[in-house]
A and B are shown apart, each in its own frame.
Chain A
Amino acid sequence: MNAQHFQPLSRRTFLRGAGIALALPFLDSMFPRAHAKDGDKATRRMICINTALGMHAEFFFPKGAGRDYTPSVYLEAMKEHRDDFTVFSGLAHPGMEGGGHAAELSFLTGAPEPHLPSFHNTISLDQFMADKIGSATRFPSLSLASSGNIAGSLSVNRSGVNLPGEQRPSKVFAQLFLQGSPEDVKCEEKRLSEGRSVLDTVSAQAKKLEARVGAGDRAKLDEYFTSVREMEQRLQAIQAWSKKPKPKVELPPPSDVQNTADLIGKMDALFNLLPLALQTDSTRVITMLIGECGVPPIPGVTSGDHALSHHGQEPEKIAQLRLIETAKMKSVAGLLTKLKAVKEGGDSLLKNTMVLFGSNLSNASNHSTQHLPILLAGGPFKHGQHIVAAPPENLNENKPLCNVFVSMLQGMGLETNKFGSSTGTQTGLELAS
């Protein structure tokens, strides 16, 4: 089937006919903006993936800079996408020294000193975007995780609170695509309006209490009040969306991976849903935290991923670590392949989706937070190169990773010049003409 056979549908036409199950490729015609000719921009999306235990540097970073770099072991696993990604070296978040595993809290925020008691996190890249563009979609953002780590997900809200990450593909699928029976919908509608009146009541109570307490308590009540207000708005949006049918897809509902150690299985199962989530415009912003898993069922791997990341230079452990990390790279490569296979207008979905992949640690063996492994695929950029932001020898002269984030914000079509510790956009990362 080819989407080009169909005239673009208006959203209203689509909604009128929504009783019919539409096969996936039809959905292409739902996005006239993606078809747009000159002057109109395509829908832009972003996926950020962080694998919390680092990537073995020797196998990750390529040799040579620019377009003629020689791929590393891990980049070999992505070679079919070579022209669609840029790999970086010499990037880090400043102020992360000594951060250790706590650095995962700051991966998308850049907030310094996550390991200190005085730490206050700041908004993450995805939530910053969701605040600006999230109302256009049923879900302002999706926060996913293969397993919880120190952080529940990569997402941090405006108040600096880490948001929980959904780990079950079945739940994600149900949220995105399962309509429920008319009875369910009615129940849900009732639950939503009950939820709203409950929130109305408790936010009024919080305001009343605020008048009676000191400054410290007031800040806490204010956080409660703000959270309730945000939830009210969220319920309001959900209520509005609940009147519109969810997109129907041909994919059967996935079952959850039962083996908690099956990291790759869990990654693949969640990744499978992402092209659909984006293509149906259910959300435009997605994060995925890849946490620790134990001993993954990968042939040749007999030790836990965390233990292996502390390899102590033992060749046997590095060999096993390589098996796990290669499998992770392949899973990410698989996601890129899936995004590429979806056509939107004249382009692939990958062209409209920035995919950031990296880690908050470089060498997990000594918990180094410098010289992070970072790769950016898709989106509106000119790719196919290795950008050396700072030479690897000078550990303390890294360039801020937030510069890449600013480039991504602009790539998303947002007029922003500053994010976290940025000093500008990422040099060498240019928009494709």
Chain B
Amino acid sequence: MNPRPQLFPARASACALILVWTAYAVGADLPQPARTFINSRCTECHDADTSKGGLDLTALSPQLDDPKLEAKWTYVFDRVQRGEMPPKKEPPPNERDVFLKSLGGFLSEHDAARQARDGRVVLRRLNRVEYENTIHDLLRIGTPLRDMLPADTAAFGFDNVSEALRLSSSQIEAYLQAADKALDAALQFGADPRKKKHFNLLELPNIRDALDKPHGSLNSDGTKYQQIYGALPDAFLMFVNDTFGGTILRDSFTHYAGNYKIRISVSAHQNNDHPVVVGRLHITTFLLERVAGAFDFAPGQTREAEVTAWFGENEGVVLRAAGCDQVAPDGTKLNDVGAENYKGPGLAVHWIEVEGPLVESWPPPSVKCVFGDVPVRPLDKPQGGRTFELAPSNPPEEAAKEVAAFASRAFRRPVKGDDTAPYILLATEALKRGESFENAVRGGCKAILASPEFLFLHEERGRLDDYALAARLSYFLWSTMPDDELLNLAAQGKLKDPATLRSETERMLNSPKSLAFVKNYCGQAFGLRNIDATQPERELYPEFDGLLKEAMVAETEAFFGEMLRADLGAATLIDSDFAMLNRRLAEHYGIPGVTGEHMRKVMLPPGSHRGGLMTQAGILKVTANGSLSSPVVRGTWVMKRLLGFQPQPPPADAGSIEPDTRGTTTIREQLEKHRRMASCAACHQYMDPPGFALENYDVIGGWREWYRSQGKGQVVAVTDPTSGAKMRLRQGPPVDASGVLADGRKFANIEDIKKLLLTRQEAVARNLANNLFTYATGAGITFADRGEVQTILEHAQPHAYGLRTLIHEIVQSRLFQNK
């Protein structure tokens, strides 16, 4: 029995974290006070004979150079500190403190020695997202590059942690290819491709052809023609949601890759009892498509909507009427009656406009990024697709100058002659061989883009210099290279000044570029990158579609963005009186009065069952598979990702639960059996309960009071709030969301659990701070860093551990400003 009532494994008081530095040599034996405590308090269960939970402390080597042993000893420390061990006879507090001080000092000393030797953060390579963003800023292009590079691996939960960012020859090969692709895109000397194309749909020949054929007329093979398109005097009508029924604008196909602005003028048609029709814009190669944007159209008004999107070299626009199900309220089907007599909702499209590529001048500014002030002049006669040419007056001199300038920007710091000489040499040698000026400079730039100075962040041991600090800050908040303002401040030596650093952090957080931080952080810390890991089963969840999925991810990102804006903290992660919603998601949650496709702050009505992170649909989806949710997975998500509890992996002989969903045993019964085994209970008593409280949410985050069943169960018709269609579902057993916490306290539902969690805000904040630190610096929080995290938490506590406050505290910290 645990003598102290506890809700979740409690962190011990802050004072235990302030570690005393002792004089034990690295690699030495365990200090005597720790050894004494182990011998008197632990070895009853953890010796060679009993070795409970597979742990024999008499044989556990204190050679901390082995990361596995270091992790084991840290785990021993944590469990004693949390008061979970020893489990039966509680040692007197002073004895425990002596042990924690002794073992803590031993662990901290070792870790600090490693940091002193190597720095906390070993040489950090740009990951592929950072690489792409950096090249985009460096060359002012938008060409997608990340998918050309192998996926990065993660450590401590983030793929920007230097330890995990490995290299192989395949990666180097990919860098060479990506550099070529980027330079190809940047160096454009052809004719100005910028255009604005306006399409009045009813005037397009292929649309007129399609409309000409009457419904029911005979096709050449004897079948009857189904007329699915219609016309109003000033608009083209579409009703179909699938790949077949879209409007591909043939003339919108681009021959020039770039960002384009698409504008549409559309109104909803015949949607009186079906309030909203969605128009979805896709970009297509004819074979493959991706969504560029989706817009709600309310009844009775024409709306002009626009979106900016990347087009590849040979891609065009498709418009689809999403959410139209081709069955009218009177039951008639589009295919039967034809568009003319059809009474169901559709889209009335007036015109579509495609403008781009969106560059402010021609030749594009990207040419200047490589060739600086070298004059560019129009050719008298265009040759081989070229309309412009470079006109250097002194090629070798100008090549050297431009390569050096490019290197300085690419390396994010001023360069000396020594640093650039090899790259300049590449260019000048090429000139000597008779290469063109353009190719010579380009070769030097290609080498720069594959160089260690570009691919790795340059951080020297000890305190970071201003340029390294600028880069660390920029990759933290923007996932890209520092901008001119940061570099100017670094050049003036002002960035280190705390007030300047603070105002720069504010500026960066207020910039739209901070969305990169929000996305990368939410995607990883909350697991949102797994949103596509499983597909909800169509039969069970017919209402799920791409729009809902996108809204799920957007909700959590907008929520985190709002926390960042308004300096909301740990308590908001647990529960909030607002949610970030658009119409689609609000309908999914059963919250009325939200219109339009954009995410905005909505105050939650009573009884909404929402608020905080845990009840967001995206989180509930990534903790479920396509048909089932597991309380273990969801409970682990809460414990690990919210509270920072690191469960040990199950012992080797545990096996995992073989789920049996035939209905004979419930997962709850199986888990109870599981928890009766002591070795499982050690972690599962903490991990499972929050998962039970989330049983009221289905695999797509909808509220449920009964499970949807694929096998037995009565058929019930439920109205899909979005499409208005009837969904035929089978009613399975009722949901029981109650449970018992490790300390014996009971809860009935999610609301109860949230209240209990609100008493654990410090743990939530500590986990948030640990993760932010890891992401901000590119290295995990290890034992020697714990003191600094504690200091930050103490500073942030009066601000309710607000997210913005935490970020400022981190930026001002010693950890952030040292290698």
Contact = CB atoms under 8 A, between A and B. Distances in A.
Interface in A216-264: 216-217, 219-221, 223-224, 227-228, 230-231, 234, 258
A227 B167 contact: yes
B802 to A, nearest CB: 30
B652 interface: yes
Contacts of A116: 68, 649
A115 B155 CA distance: 11
Given A194-B446, A221-B123, A224-B452, A234 B117 contact: no
Interface stretch (A282-290, A312-320, A349-357): A312-320
A161 B627 contact: no
Contact of B534 (A161, A223, A258, A304): A304
A368 interface: yes
Interface in A250-305: 258, 294-295, 302-304
A164 B656 CA distance: 31
Interface in B408-460: 422-423, 425-426, 443, 446-447, 450-453, 455-456, 460
Interface string B648-666: 0110111111111110000
Nearest to A370: B655
A396 B653 contact: yes
A307 B535 contact: yes
Nearest to B532: A294
A152 interface: yes
Nearest to A98: B649
A163 interface: yes
Interface stretch (B88-96, B168-176, B323-331, B337-345): B168-176
B123 A304 contact: no
A414 interface: no
Given A98-B650, A201-B447, A227-B171, A148 B151 contact: yes
B77 interface: no
Contact of B655 (A115, A215, A366): A366
A152 B537 contact: no
Given A205-B452, A314-B710, A366 B656 contact: yes
A216 B123 contact: yes
B15 interface: no
Contacts of B68: 116, 118
A205 B451 contact: yes
B660 A312 contact: yes
A159 B539 CA distance: 46
A334 interface: no
A426 interface: no
Contacts of A303: 537, 539, 626-627
B168 A159 contact: yes
Contacts of A227: 167-169, 171-172
Interface in A148-193: 148, 152, 157, 159-164, 191
B649 A115 contact: yes
A258 B288 contact: yes
A197 B166 contact: no
A224 B166 CA distance: 9
A202 B451 contact: yes
B67 interface: yes
Contacts, number: 182
Contacts of B451: 201-202, 205
A394 to B, nearest CB: 12
Contacts of B730: none
A233 B172 CA distance: 12
Contact of B117 (A202, A215, A230): A215
Q: What band does the interface of chain A fall in when counting residues whose beta carbon is under 8 Å from B?
A: 35 or more
A214 interface: yes
B122 A197 contact: no
A213 interface: yes
B538 interface: yes
A206 interface: yes
Contacts of B508: none
B166 A160 contact: yes
A198 B166 contact: no
A150 to B, nearest CB: 9
B438 to A, nearest CB: 13
A194 B537 contact: no
Nearest to B660: A313
A17 interface: no
Contacts of A97: 650, 652-654
Nearest to B425: A201
Contacts of A164: 150-151, 170, 174
Given A98-B652, A214-B118, A234-B173, A306 B167 contact: no
A117 interface: yes
B717 interface: no
Contacts of A396: 652-653
Contacts of B172: 199, 227-228, 230-231
Contacts of B67: 117-118
A216 B117 contact: yes
A118 B166 contact: no
Nearest to B661: A312
Given A294-B535, A306-B533, A366 B450 contact: no
B452 A209 contact: yes
A316 B711 contact: yes
Interface in B619-671: 625-628, 649-650, 652-662
Interface string A365-390: 11110000000000000000000000
A201 B625 contact: no
Given A216-B123, A314-B662, A205 B151 contact: no
B626 A313 contact: no
A215 B603 CA distance: 54
Given A214-B461, A220-B125, A157 B168 contact: yes
A366 B71 contact: no
A147 to B, nearest CB: 12
Instruction: Report which residue of B453, B455, B535, B539 has the largest number of chain A beta carbons within 10 angstroms of its beta carbon.
Output: B535
A191 B460 CA distance: 35
Contacts of B656: 366-368
A219 B166 CA distance: 11
Contacts of A323: none
A204 B423 CA distance: 11
A418 interface: no
A314 B287 CA distance: 37
Given A213-B123, A216-B123, A396-B653, A312 B150 contact: no
Interface string A312-351: 1111100000000000000000000000000000000000
Nearest to B124: A220
A365 B153 CA distance: 25
B659 A234 contact: no
Contacts of A106: none
B538 A302 contact: yes
A117 B156 contact: yes
B489 to A, nearest CB: 26
A348 B422 CA distance: 54
Nearest to A304: B535
Given A98-B650, A214-B118, A230 B711 contact: no
A269 to B, nearest CB: 15
Interface in B123-176: 123, 125, 150-151, 153, 155-156, 162, 166-174, 176
Contact of A217 (B122, B176, B538): B122
20 contacts: A97-B652, A97-B653, A98-B649, A115-B649, A162-B150, A195-B176, A198-B176, A201-B425, A205-B422, A205-B451, A216-B117, A220-B456, A227-B168, A230-B168, A231-B173, A302-B537, A302-B538, A307-B625, A313-B661, A368-B655
Given A148-B151, A258-B288, 4 more contacts: A161-B167, A202-B452, A223-B167, A366-B658
6 A-B pairs with the lowest CB-CB distances in the bound complex, closest first: A216-B118, A312-B661, A307-B626, A230-B169, A216-B122, A220-B123
Interface of A: 97-98, 115-118, 148, 152, 157, 159-164, 191, 194-195, 197-199, 201-202, 204-206, 209, 213-217, 219-221, 223-224, 227-228, 230-231, 234, 258, 294-295, 302-304, 306-307, 310, 312-316, 363, 365-368, 395-396
